[in-house]
């Protein structure tokens, strides 16, 4: 009787195929998890950017309103300083000027 013919020889080929399949699935799972983490981080970053830009826009609008108010005040000050009553008062009181006589007035057209 031949004793070697009834024995099964273990080559390990079947376990290599399973090992490669398990490794490839594990690698695919890791890549999927990394992709989800990267996507989540990008989403959070983009939301933070939107909020930050909203704050910057709000500050810009507030500054614009402040500048518009300052512009109104300066225009009012210019109008006050240019008023004929004020100029005449300064000319008469501080500079000791008098009203011109009709023959001193020259009309330019």
pLDDT tens-digit series, residues 73-87:
999 999 999 999 999
- Residue 14 Cα distances to 9, 19, 21, angstroms: 12, 9, 11
Q: In sequence order, what are the residues at sequence separation of 6 or more whose Cβ sits closer than 8 angstroms to the Cβ of residue 86?
A: 80
Structure token digits, residue 75: 């225009």
Q: What average pLDDT is seen over the chain?
A: 89
Supply 42's token pair: 């990008």
pLDDT mean over 43-56: 98
Question: Distance between CA atoms of 50 and 44, rounded to whole angstroms?
Answer: 10
Calpha distance 86→93 (Å, rounded): 10
pLDDT for 79 equals: 95
DSSP symbol at 3: G
**Is pLDDT of 19 > 90?**
no
């Amino acid at each position: 009787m031949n004793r070697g013919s009834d024995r099964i020889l273990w080559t390990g080929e079947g376990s290599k195929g399973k090992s490669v399949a398990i490794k490839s699935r594990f690698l695919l799972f890791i890549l999927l998890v990394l992709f989800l983490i990267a996507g989540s981080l990008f989403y959070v970053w983009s939301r933070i950017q939107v909020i930050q830009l909203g704050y910057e826009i709000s500050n810009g609008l507030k500054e614009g309103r402040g500048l518009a108010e300052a512009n109104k005040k300066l225009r009012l000050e210019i109008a006050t300083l240019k008023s004929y009553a004020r100029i005449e008062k300064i000319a008469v009181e501080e500079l000791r000027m008098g009203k011109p006589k009709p023959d001193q007035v020259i009309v330019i057209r």
